[in-house]
Amino acid sequence: MSRPENALARTRALGVVLPIHNEEDLLDAALNSLQDTFTLICGWRIEYQFVIVLDSCTDTSAQIVEQWHHRRRWESNSPEVTVITSESHNVGFARALGCATLLDTWYRLNPATIWIATTDADSRVPEEWLKAQVLQHELGVDLWCGRVSVSDWSSRLEGTSEQWQREYEEEADPIHGTSLGCNAEIYLASGGFRPIESSEDRDLCRRLQAMGAVVHFDSSVPVVTSARRNARAPLGFAHALGEVEENLGMTAFG
């Protein structure tokens, strides 16, 4: 599905929020993938902004962001980039801070015309990730939930990938903060992301759905994420994979 740039009726601004906590190994790939997804729609007549939240980073993540920003800032297809810091070590707070920063700069715009997307710094978004969200927003969607895939299972036990894939395919409506988007008006009405260490994405989506948000679950543009063991959120994706792996081991030795 395509849409000419001058036909956008519901979307006047598009922002992406990226929280980062000690992601030096995967961060550069994440940033480059976001640049690519912005580039695909850079000709559309809407405003763009990218907010990066460095949350309690003690590694070289800040330097990687600075170097990436320096390389990209003179490119005509680059969005406006804002880098802020937080010492909360809390992904819900970091996402909320990024969204608030983004919306503060667009205070003159009607929130109903703003789309907010979030992802994670251990993930690579596909080129059409933002395009898919904006087009659904134009069709009346308030909340967009994308799926994920994993490209490297080397840190996990053999068989974990197959078991996870079986279970994931049975999950009808998965929610991931690394592939999420929503209309700013309903986001603000819901109270936004809450400052919780895990499941801030599911918490927000439950409240939006309870308010009657039009939801679209999209499997067409999966975000490639990490299967690492070192979790950033206590009960996040790494924890879920650990449970799959643990159950697999119990089955093998049961």
Read off the pLDDT of residues 141-172 as tens digits, 9 standing for 90 and up.
999 999 999 887 777 777 777 887 788 888 88
What predicted TM-score, i.e. pTM, was given to this entire model?
0.88
What is the average pLDDT across 212-223?
A: 97
Alpha-carbon separation of residue 42 from 5, 37, 77, 106, 140 (angstroms) = 10, 9, 6, 18, 22
Read off the pLDDT of residues 180-216 as tens digits, 9 standing for 90 and up.
999 999 999 999 999 999 999 999 999 999 999 999 9
Helices (H) and strands (E) in the chain, counts: 8, 7
Alpha-carbon separation of residue 78 from 75, 105, 106 (angstroms) = 6, 17, 18
Point out the least confidently predicted range of 42-56, 71-85, 150-164: 150-164
What is the average pLDDT across 47-64?
A: 97
Provide the token pair at 51.
């907010």
Read off the pLDDT of residues 107-121 as tens digits, 9 standing for 90 and up.
999 999 999 999 999
Q: Comparing C-alpha atoms, which of 176, 1, 245, 200 is closest to residue 98?
A: 200
In the three-class reduction of DSSP (H, G, I as helix; E, B as strand; rest coil), residue 47 is classed as: strand
Mean model confidence pLDDT for the chain: 89
Confidence of residue 245 (pLDDT cuts 50, 70, 90): low
Q: Which pLDDT value is given to residue 235?
A: 55
Q: Which pLDDT value is given to residue 250?
A: 45
Q: Which pLDDT value is given to residue 75?
A: 77
User: By the 8 A CB rule, do 8 and 138 touch?
Assistant: yes
Point out the least confidently predicted range of 34-43, 123-132, 239-248: 239-248
Point out the least confidently predicted range of 57-71, 90-104, 230-244: 230-244
Burial class of 171 by CB neighbour count within 10 A (0 to 12, 13 to 18, 19+): exposed
Which domains are assigned to the chain?
10-253 (3.90.550.10)
